[in-house]
Structure 1
Amino acid sequence: MRLIVIPLLGLLLTACQIDPYTHQPTWTGTDWYDAGKEDAMNGVAAKSSESLAANFNDPKVDRSAYLSGYKEGREKICQENFVYAWGLAGKIFPASCDTADNATQLRTAWQQGMDEGTKASRLN
């Protein structure tokens, strides 16, 4: 039994070894397009350059790339069936859709989802 335990213990200890030659990844900078797209799809209002610089710890904000990504994310999220599902799930109306061309229709669809979601939760 002792002959099996000692090699097994040695094997387990070597499996937990950290490679000292592993290099730290290199910083490539912020992808402002993806940051804008992510903000819009999370329902967040567009952020100012100052808050972006502070949040990402990167003073070189590419505002045009951020706004391009934000526009694409807003186009994906600001659809009636999508905001309806958000309302059904009990989520607040996405701030990124407040400036959409069809904001009143979107808010109506969201409110219908919110009403149905509330009604369904009362029944359960």
Structure 2
Amino acid sequence: MRPLVFALLALLLTGCQINPYTFQPDWTGTSWFTAGKEDAMNGASVKSNETLADNFNDPDVNRSEYLRGYADGQKRICTEDFVYAWGLSGKIFPASCDTAENADLLRKSWQKGMDEGLRASRLN
């Protein structure tokens, strides 16, 4: 019984030890390229500087980096296969593809996927 008490006491005391630097944030600033890329890949439209500053709590918005990242994200998702898969899964057409140069073709691919997804869900 006595070894059990000592073991529990030791466990309790080691569990209470706190490292003060464990949860200290490491602020490196906002990666505006990544923010733009994520917005495009999530299907969101381009955000204004005011919205970006509010969302990231950073008033120094680098608009050119954000737009460069947005364009990179658009290249990745604004393809016929990708928007077809979005339609097949029942997701709305990504707003980031509305400004793509082949937006009409992309919307047709998305609609085809949406129609097939609805047909498949009716069969189940």
C-alpha deviation, 1:23, in angstroms:
6.3
Q: 1:55 to 1:23 in 2, by over 3 A?
A: closer
Residues 8 and 34 of structure 1: is their aligned pair in 2 closer, same or farther, counting only changes over 3 Å?
Answer: same
SS in 1 for 2:111: helix
Report the 3-state secondary structure (helix = DSSP H, G, I; strand = E; otherwise coil) of the residue aligned with 1:105. helix
Match of 1:94 in 2: 94
Over the aligned positions, Cα root-mean-square deviation in angstroms equals: 1.4
- What stretches of structure 2 of length at least 5 have no aligned partner? none
Question: What do residues 51-71 of structure 1 show as CA deviations (whole Å, max 9, x unaligned)?
Answer: 101111100000000000000
Count of aligned residue pairs for this structure pair: 123
Q: Structure 2 vs 1, CA of residues 121 and 64 (structure 1 numbering), >3 Å: closer, same or farther?
A: same
SS class of match (1:19): coil
Matching residue of 2:6: 7
**Which residues in structure 2 correspond to 1:1-124 (within 5 Å)?**
2-13=1-12, 14-22=14-22, 24-124=24-124
TM-score with structure 1 setting the length: 0.93
Bigger Cα displacement from structure 2, 17-26 vs 52-61: 17-26
State the TM-score, normalizing by the size of structure 2: 0.93
* Superposition deviation, residue 27 in structure 1: 1.3
Percent identity over the alignment is 66
In the alignment, structure 1 segments of 5+ residues that lack a partner are: none
